[in-house]
Amino acid sequence: MEGTTGAPAADDSGAAPVRSVRLRAPYLLFLGEEASPLKAKTAFGLRDWAPERCLAQLRMPGCGVDLGLPDLAPRAAAQAGARALVIGVTPPGGRIQTGWTAVLREAVEAGLDIVSGLHTPLESVPGLAEAARAAGVALVDVRRPPDDLPRATGRRRSGRRVLAVGTDCALGKKYTALALARAMRGAGVDADFRATGQTGVMIAGRGIAIDAVVADFIAGAAECIAPAAAPEHWDVIEGQGSLFHPAYAGVTLGLLHGAQADALVLCHDPVRRHLVSWPDYPVRGLRDAAGPYVEAARLTNPGARIAAVSLNTSALAEADALQALDDAARTLGVPAFDPLRTPADRVVASILS
């Protein structure tokens, strides 16, 4: 894959190190025809956590998402300084849509790299690879995992780890991990954000999109993402999926086992009643969700515990949001915060305790 480093060498833990991803910035964020902000997590994540890299947005007819960035076509974006078009949405199945082909070709011919976190390889888009070679630009499939991931060992390793887990998908696990890593560093803690999804990898420039890993190697990939470290070092690991999701629970369980987290931060949306796109599956409450997460995590770390709650209160007014945070804290007896709305100092203290 263009845009990544070469073959890895084993570190002292026996795990293959995670490859770095080099992306040319600034970006033109492609939103396609997406109508739902929940399906534009990549675009919003880059806008919120790497704003200096985001130049403009590209929307097709029918798009209902707006990042608040200038709307530019590929050639105009390239003339304004863009170096890559980043696909910022996740359509059903994580597949590149056939209606995007002309726009992607136009971007390549304008001199832009194409960066995708979808399951469909960019080279499978008719004519795109040939056009990219002719234009001298790169096709970067961020979701493609390394080919030589090991199986998990299950052995305890040095260093400390905190993992964001959730009652559903798309409710703030990435934002929680990024906010905590920043807050911990601000408090003088040796801490790193560890990316496990395509957007996190784009933000951090390093990581593995763990939902693209063959099932037998998910836990092993997690061990590689957060390998042995100095005793006081903290890895803040981005969560994926949910233990209670009919489609994605397997990814979550493998990540839980490989992370060997000392502390779990349970992420939740207090107004969401059913799983996104799965209306027959209600969202579990915090108390019902905490026990299964701790039980699963303790397979590889018997000391795992829920250290805090992270709420996505974006749909609530200020007073209602503060009440929801108070209710969550009382429910589980741990601090609660919203990574975009409230300070993280009490949550950091709980994680470190």
Strands 274-275 and 278-282: antiparallel
32 in the same domain as 178:
no
Is pTM, for the whole model, over 0.85? yes
Can you tell me the mean pLDDT for 49-64?
Answer: 96
57: pLDDT strictly greater than 90: yes
327 in the same domain as 189:
yes
182 in the same domain as 289:
yes
Mean residue pLDDT of the chain comes to 93
User: In which band, very low, low, confident or very high, does the pLDDT at 17 lie, cut at 50, 70 and 90?
Assistant: low
Per-residue pLDDT reduced to its tens digit, 279-309:
999 999 999 999 999 999 999 999 999 999 9
User: In which band, very low, low, confident or very high, does the pLDDT at 22 lie, cut at 50, 70 and 90?
Assistant: confident
Q: Of 86, 111, 141, which one is at a domain's C-terminal end?
A: 141
293 in the same domain as 185:
yes
Min mean pLDDT across 85-89, 148-152, 160-164, 316-320 is at 148-152
Can you tell me the mean pLDDT for 244-257?
Answer: 97
User: In which band, very low, low, confident or very high, does the pLDDT at 141 lie, cut at 50, 70 and 90?
Assistant: very high
Q: How many residues does the chain have?
A: 353
109 in the same domain as 179:
no
Residues 6 or more apart whose Cβ sits within 8 Å of residue 344: 179, 180, 183, 337
CATH code for the domain of 226:
3.40.50.300
Can you tell me the mean pLDDT for 41-64?
Answer: 96
Which segments of 9-157 does DSSP mark as H helices, in order? 41-49, 74-79, 101-109, 128-135
**Lookup result for tokens 């086992």:** 257
Can you tell me the mean pLDDT for 215-221?
Answer: 96
Give the domain range for residue 283.
Answer: 160-352
Alpha-carbon distance of 6 to 93, in angstroms, equals 29
For the residues of 90-118, what is the DSSP string, one character each? --GGG---GGGHHHHHHHHHTT-EEEE-S
228 in the same domain as 181:
yes
165 in the same domain as 126:
no
331 in the same domain as 209:
yes
Beta bridge partners, 200, equal none
In a domain, 329, yes or no: yes
Please check whether residue 68 is in contact with residue 45, taking contact to mean a CB–CB distance below 8 angstroms: no
323 in the same domain as 216:
yes
In a domain, 6, yes or no: no
* Share of residues in the chain with pLDDT > 90 (%): 91
37: pLDDT strictly greater than 80: yes
- The tally of domains found in the chain comes to 2
* Cα 183 off chain centre by: 18
In a domain, 82, yes or no: yes
In a domain, 274, yes or no: yes
Nearest one of 117, 143, 141, 118 to 129, comparing CA atoms: 141
Can you tell me the mean pLDDT for 114-138?
Answer: 96
The pLDDT, as a whole number, for residue 343 is 96
The pLDDT, as a whole number, for residue 325 is 98
191 in the same domain as 105:
no
In a domain, 232, yes or no: yes
Q: Of 114, 141, 168, which one is at a domain's C-terminal end?
A: 141
316 in the same domain as 266:
yes
168 in the same domain as 98:
no
Alpha-carbon distance of 309 to 127, in angstroms, equals 47
